[in-house]
Amino acid sequence: MCGGHIFSRKRGKGICMRIEDIDKNLVVETTITEPDLVWFNVRELPFRLYGVIYDETMGCYVRMPQATAEAISQNVSGSLNRCTAGGRVRFRTDSRYIAIKAVMKNGSPMVHMPLTGQSGFDLYRVDKKGKDLYYRTFVPPRGMTEGYSSAHWVEGTEADYTINFPLYDGVKELYVALKRNAHLSEPTPYAIEKPVVYYGSSITQGGCASRPGNAYQAIISRHLGVDHINLGFSGSAKGELGMAEYIATLDMSAFVMDYDHNTNNEEHLKQTHEPFFKAVRAAHPTLPIIIVSAPNVLLKGDEKFSYGRFTARRAIVRRTYENALIAGDKNVYFIDGAQLFKGEDWDACTVDGTHPNDLGFFRMATRIGKDVRKVLLK
């Protein structure tokens, strides 16, 4: 079975028939009126999910096991774990029409972030050169509270597609519709299947990208063909030891550690940063770990406009790196957050002096991606 539909194989491809014509209880209710569609639940093969897992008890997607989240903090377990930042579904089809039906709990619109980033899904298509290219956004309507439907006509030649989940709103179910006679099969695997794991603040989570595919991790993922897991938690990345211990259990190709924005003060950062690093390192002696200090736009201006507290915090973060080098660690890297928005119009990289816009995220992807590329392809 496939999303409530009969799925069969033919020449390595799947062909689906409308079982809802037999069992009306399996009809997906939607505002989409295009005829001859077959609806699938993306939790079932041949769709492949990345960056999120489905919690059967809670009836929604989460980014880490809920029991683990509950041991971290109330903020992480209460809402942020259900934010689907970094979630993706991938599949291969020759359908000339792709629709979605998202069942989700929509939060109040944020004043500094587009609804397309907070609540939207976006669609990427792999071109003939194997490059993921943005195709369209499934744009959410204003005032929604329990999800929405959206659709796009596409080229109709067989290709791999990726749909990125929202950066903030929680998704209970996602259904995808294709034309009845379209072929459907598993997507081409990532070139690098072990994910890069990112841990950090709202910036890591994707605030305030205009759409999910513009978060810096998604950009790096497309450029390098690598899976990723986004463990950015708005205002709630406190460097808890339990979080470090969870991350240490993951099978990953690299780890990017960027959480100093959310620590309460310099003393908190000092007490947590190096122990967090050491907890992950103890479980992964040779894992490439990239340490990033706070990417605050004001650090790039005239020094008299810089926040002194970020200079002090940057020194604490760098000390973790330097101590690792002294201890003989050959797989640790440091990126100075003051350099992340470097270049002409550096002051145009955020929406509020802190959270990146799309330009800011592109520059973060360029700089952090340089080191990710180096450690993955060396």
Q: Give the pLDDT of residue 280.
A: 98
- Does residue 241 sit within a domain? yes
Distances (CA, A) of 70 to 234, 248, 362: 16, 17, 33
Domain final residue pick, 154, 185, 216:
185
Q: How many domains does one find in the chain? A: 2
- Does residue 278 sit within a domain? yes
- Does residue 1 sit within a domain? no
Residues 238-257 have a mean pLDDT of 97
Residues 188-199 have a mean pLDDT of 97
Residue 127: pLDDT band by 50, 70, 90 thresholds? confident
- What's the pTM value of the predicted model, to 2 decimals? 0.91
Residue type (1 letter), 243: M
Residue 144: pLDDT band by 50, 70, 90 thresholds? confident
User: pLDDT digit string (tens) for 257-274?
Assistant: 999 888 888 999 999 999
Q: Give the pLDDT of residue 107.
A: 77
Domain final residue pick, 130, 165, 185:
185
Domain with 278 in it: 192-377
Let me know whether 312 and 216 are in one domain: yes
Q: Give the pLDDT of residue 106.
A: 80
Residue type (1 letter), 175: Y
Let me know whether 258 and 131 are in one domain: no
Q: Which residue has the higher pLDDT, 131 or 326?
A: 326
Task: Residue 274: give its domain's CATH number.
Answer: 3.40.50.1110
Q: What is the DSSP code string of 65-108?
A: -HHHHHHH-HHHHHTGGGB-TT-EEEEEE--SEEEEEEEEEPPP
Q: Give the pLDDT of residue 3.
A: 39
Domain final residue pick, 162, 185, 208:
185
